[in-house]
Amino acid sequence: MRIFSARWRFLLPVVLLAFVAGCDDSDPTPEDLNLALGNPSGATSDPNQPNNYLLTRPEYALSYHRSRGIPNWVSWHLAAKDLGTAPRQDNFRADNALPAGWYQVTASSYTGSGFDRGHHCPSADRTASTASNSATFLMTNMLPQAPNLNQRTWADLEEYCRTLVRGGNELYIIMGSYGTGGTGSQGPDNTIDQGRVTVPARCWKVVVVLPAGQHSPDDVDAGTRVIAVNAPNQNSVGAAWGNYRTTVDALEAATGLDLLSAVAPAVQATLEARVDTGPTQ
């Protein structure tokens, strides 16, 4: 039995070369891109480090703090391919990827608290597929966020980020929180869910803006736009997110994190000391 015709014997080397080229290890995976600018806390997937536990998935990476019941930070890459037509799933749920025996925050843990289930990686940043959007509703991607901060100030910042992507850029975004005690629609509180979820005092975000097609930390230079925002987790927060711009250096001092650690040190020094003055819409 003849398996290959003479023509296919001639084409086989070409086909194999094309296959190998398509499997180039230099092509970053979504997981690689989400942490391309560094792991801010050196998180690892070690259950013996419950307050700095690394979870990675194609949609985002995060460092989970079991004692606080929320992430230390969530990091993700946003490009045009991530923005599609998949509808918002609204399927808030516990994250079964946490180690066995850990308390799992549930969809109802925030009920009646006066705080929103605030996304770190937003639902609207992951609309390329239903599965991708669904991943943003895992409770390890949430924090108790004052409604006006979540629905107004932060929502406007998130939409501005997507505007930048639609304008020909791709973004590296890191979001987190720190401190204890916020004020929701029912007044101030330090914890919810019977003390198992901490209400943070501040919410912060760092956005690195690069031209579409640039993926590497080496593409970040002294002229790269970096937006750092630090807002109070208060229902009285102002609507304009641009009023809460700060420096990466200030965020690092407040959180103890090492942000943008994969970027060249000299470039970091310049970018992290600068307050963004670019447009806000």
Is the CB of residue 72 less than 8 Å from the CB of residue 198?
A: no
119 is catalytic: yes
Is the CB of residue 144 less than 8 Å from the CB of residue 116?
A: yes
Q: From the candidates 65, 77, 119, 120, give the one annotated as an active-site residue.
A: 119
Query: Within the chain, where are the H helices?
Result: 6-22, 30-34, 130-135, 147-148, 154-166, 248-255, 265-272
Is the CB of residue 196 less than 8 Å from the CB of residue 190?
A: no
Distance of alpha carbon 82 from alpha carbon 165, whole angstroms:
10
Q: What DSSP character marks residue 72?
A: E
**For the chain, what is the largest distance between any 2 Cα atoms, rounded to a whole number of angstroms?**
80
- C-beta atoms surrounding 1 within 10 Å: 2
The pair of three-digit structure tokens given for residue 205, joined into one six-digit string: 């975000």
Hey, is 4 helix, strand or coil? coil
Distance of alpha carbon 265 from alpha carbon 252, whole angstroms:
15
Judge whether 148 is annotated as a binding position. no
Positive or negative, the Cα torsion across 26, 32, 33, 37?
negative
Phi-psi region of 195 (alpha: psi -120 to 50; beta: other; left: phi over 0): left
Residue 62's beta-bridge partner residues?
A: 55, 74
Tell me which residue of 215, 214, 241, 218 sits closest to 230, measured CA to CA.
Answer: 241
Q: What DSSP character marks residue 87?
A: P
Catalytic residue numbers, as ranges: 119
Binding site listing for Mg(2+): 150
